[in-house]
Chains A and B, each alone.
Chain A
Amino acid sequence: MIRNHLSTIIITIVTAAMGVIAAISFGKMHHPEELFPSDGLTGKVMLSDYFEGIRGTNGDTEVYLFDSGLEGGTALVCGGAHPNEAASFLSTVVMLENLRVACGRVIIIPRLNNSAFTCSDPMEGFPASYDIPTKNGTRRFRLGSRVTNPLDQWPDPLVFSQYPSNQQLSGFETRNINRAYPGRPDGNLTERIAYSIVQLIEKEKVNIAFDIHESSPEVPIVNVIVYHENYEDIAMSAILGLEMAGLQFSPETSPKNFHGLSHREWGDYTNAIPFLMETSNPSMGRLRGRTDVDLVLNGYCDNYKQAKETGALRIAYREDTGEPMTHRVGRHIAGVVELINSYNLYYPDMQIVIENLPDYEMIMEKGVGEFLNN
């Protein structure tokens, strides 16, 4: 009897201690890392300033404004729609911490789905964070989930019916912001975040908008620029420019019958010219081996090397160097710069002139950390 009570007490104490440690660890995920915007920053607001329906939720996020004071166009750059795509978030952080705008305005949202930064994908074995060495030390960044935290939106339906198209998708996709556009004011949290973004695009009269992503090396939509069919000329001109700089991007038209995605709905529901870019991230792929920080940052995996060498699959993977973070961030920033240059050719009255961003070679040579402030 005494032994039974003793085991109950010991197990209760041990479990409570584990619970407290786990609670502290999970609680830390809700504290976003500090960002250090460049001198060019002119304002910072919250996404809830564009739609009250997300104020006080984990979906609310910082919106950084860079206004040149000169009349011109407005660009919106969004990272972190899927926080498990590390180069998406990090590319916008590098832009945020270096950007100066000489004409027009640039709006940057590094954590588009802030709620998804507060958890990680179950059964994937992703590291919770990764460190980037910088000039003055090391900075730690969260590696989040593809979808909104289930604490903020739960349970998922068995089948997700996309609004307003009624397209049927897997229930899991109900928490994917890149299936939720244009969103709705009385929808679930993900739909309300999507609605807030659309409100921002309309209220700020955004002319060109970027949604930065990463994908598995083996999926067909990788190393691409996805464009809305109305703006093919701008995309092709930019891809040509990037090709001349030695960076290959495949052009992909946004499918007309695949709804909820930024490159489809931003183009259909707003006046913005949307582009979505993807880089190849081996840490997200099904063929990957050990999923650790090294794979997230260096993107080198023997499994992908072997798979590429068999020739059985079309895999976006460089056998010799892998797909390191420098390469992925460099591609994204080069893509944004070239698409804005291309936009300027077609809209000379609504110019956007951006400066002080590192180019692909600089990032490859010096590393991402060289362009982070702290």
Chain B
Amino acid sequence: MLYIIYKLILAYVTFVVIIEFLKEKKWRNQLAMAMVLLVFILRLLQIK
């Protein structure tokens, strides 16, 4: 159950970061967000 809750939290945070990534105007900030998203998405997909 805790595992599912963690997954849901991760999915929510990933969604929020994606929205911010698309809104962001400075490419350096976008790059930082992309690096965070990379790890989050790999974990969501059960790859890493």
Contacts and interface: CB of A to CB of B under 8 A. Distances in A.
B30 A11 contact: yes
B15 to A, nearest CB: 16
A80 to B, nearest CB: 21
A8 B47 contact: no
Interface in B3-19: 3, 6
A257 interface: no
Interface residues of B, number: 19
A155 B27 CA distance: 34
Contacts of B2: 155
Contact of B46 (A8, A12, A151): A151
A18 B38 CA distance: 8
Contact of B38 (A4, A8, A22, A27): A22
Contacts of A12: 34
A23 interface: yes
A12 B30 CA distance: 9
**Secondary structure dominating the interface of B:** helix
Interface string A8-31: 100110110011001100110000
Interface in A37-79: none
A22 B42 contact: yes
**Secondary structure dominating the interface of A:** helix
A57 to B, nearest CB: 13
B32 to A, nearest CB: 10
Interface residues of A, number: 16
A26 B47 contact: yes
B38 A11 contact: no
A26 B30 contact: no
A166 interface: no
A18 B22 CA distance: 19
Contacts of B37: 15
B25 A19 contact: no
B34 to A, nearest CB: 4
Contact of A27 (B22, B30, B41, B47): B47
Given A11-B34, A15-B37, A155 B47 contact: no
Interface of B: 2-3, 6, 21-22, 25, 27, 30-31, 34-35, 37-38, 41-42, 45-48
17 contacts: A4-B25, A11-B27, A11-B30, A12-B34, A14-B34, A15-B34, A15-B35, A15-B38, A19-B42, A22-B47, A23-B42, A23-B48, A27-B47, A151-B46, A154-B6, A155-B2, A155-B3
